[in-house]
Amino acid sequence: MNILVTNDDGIRSTGLQELVKALSEVGKVSVVAPDQERSGMGHAVTMHRPLRAVEITGIPGAVQAFQLDGTPADCVKLAVEVLLDNRPQLVVSGVNAGPNLGTDVLYSGTVSAAVEGLIMGVPAMAVSIADHSKAWLGLDKAAALAARTARVIGEKGLPEDTLLNINLPRLPSEQIKGIKITRVGIRRYRDFVEKREDPWGRPYYWLTGEAVDLDEGPDSDTRAVKDGWISITPVRFHLTHDEFRKELAAWTLH
Ligand code: MN
């Protein structure tokens, strides 16, 4: 199986390197990843400047690797279209430093890279650890799970418009309770914007925020990870509110 690994933390990320090593036991792994951190870019694509790809070596387990000065979605597009010798049969994005739970999937470059895989007709999964500190607790477990999952996807496939979003709790491997199959919870951010001042006295703003989980049902991804489980959610992007179309058609809009 030809596997494309990408991420949004940048090609030098430990999470990506360990993922490549583990997946090299399952198939031929190629890497196309951003040359710098591109977290929180969602599904942004670069259309108003050129993109440069530099082929690099030194990623153990990778048969081919490129760093790209673009977004995670750009990486998947270029990988499939032009850069790689072999078309990938699976896209694996991660391992991300930080969770991608609930509404995070819309902000996440990690998940968006997997979505781009689906758009290009390649099955995909995203793998994240709920730990922003880059202590990488449980990274060995995350990489091993990604490899096992890749193997099963190779055998069984995935529904056409569906990716797997995998999140591990911030726990040492031996303390993780197991795996729960979940649904996307509802996470909002109590946004706060920090106002600061630059050395010339001009204000600047730092966007941050605290996660507030509004849907803590037992099968939500947010709850599962808080309780020490690995969460695996089958995510798809069927965006139309089908049931509401009829009612909307009855609105007098013209
Ligand atoms: Mn990230």
Q: Tens digit of pLDDT for each residue in 79-107? A: 999 999 999 999 999 999 999 999 999 99
Report the separation in Å between the CA atom of 5 and the middle of ligand 1, taken as the mean of its atom positions. 14
Per the CB < 8 A criterion, the answer to whether 248 and 194 are in contact is no
Q: Which pLDDT value is given to residue 120?
A: 95
Distance CA 163, CA 126 (A): 8
Report the separation in Å between the CA atom of 198 and the middle of ligand 1, taken as the mean of its atom positions. 26
Q: Which pLDDT value is given to residue 245?
A: 96
pLDDT, one tens digit per residue, over 162-180 is 999 999 999 998 999 999 9
Q: Which pLDDT value is given to residue 141?
A: 95
131 pLDDT more than 80: yes
Task: Identify which of 5-14, 130-139, 212-221 has the greatest average pLDDT.
Answer: 5-14
Q: Which pLDDT value is given to residue 175?
A: 94
Report the separation in Å between the CA atom of 25 and the middle of ligand 1, taken as the mean of its atom positions. 24
More confident residue, 189 or 231: 231
Q: Which pLDDT value is given to residue 237?
A: 81
The model's confidence at residue 191, banded by pLDDT at 50, 70 and 90, is confident
Range 217-243 average pLDDT: 94
Report the separation in Å between the CA atom of 40 and the middle of ligand 1, taken as the mean of its atom positions. 7
Share of the chain above pLDDT 70, in %: 100
| CATH class of domain segment(s) 2-184+217-250 | alpha beta
Range 142-152 average pLDDT: 98
Q: Which pLDDT value is given to residue 215?
A: 81
Q: What is the pTM of this model?
A: 0.95
Q: Which pLDDT value is given to residue 189?
A: 82
Report the separation in Å between the CA atom of 70 and the middle of ligand 1, taken as the mean of its atom positions. 14
What six digits make up the tokens of 159?
């529904």
Q: Which pLDDT value is given to residue 39?
A: 94
From residue 195, how far is each of 39, 103, 234 by CA, in Å?
21, 25, 38
Q: Which pLDDT value is given to residue 201?
A: 98
Range 215-227 average pLDDT: 93
Report the separation in Å between the CA atom of 153 and the middle of ligand 1, taken as the mean of its atom positions. 24
114 pLDDT more than 90: yes
Report the separation in Å between the CA atom of 250 and the middle of ligand 1, taken as the mean of its atom positions. 43
2 pLDDT more than 90: yes
Domain boundaries, the chain: 2-184+217-250
Look over the chain and give the mean of its residue pLDDT values, rounded to a whole number. Answer: 95
Report the separation in Å between the CA atom of 155 and the middle of ligand 1, taken as the mean of its atom positions. 29
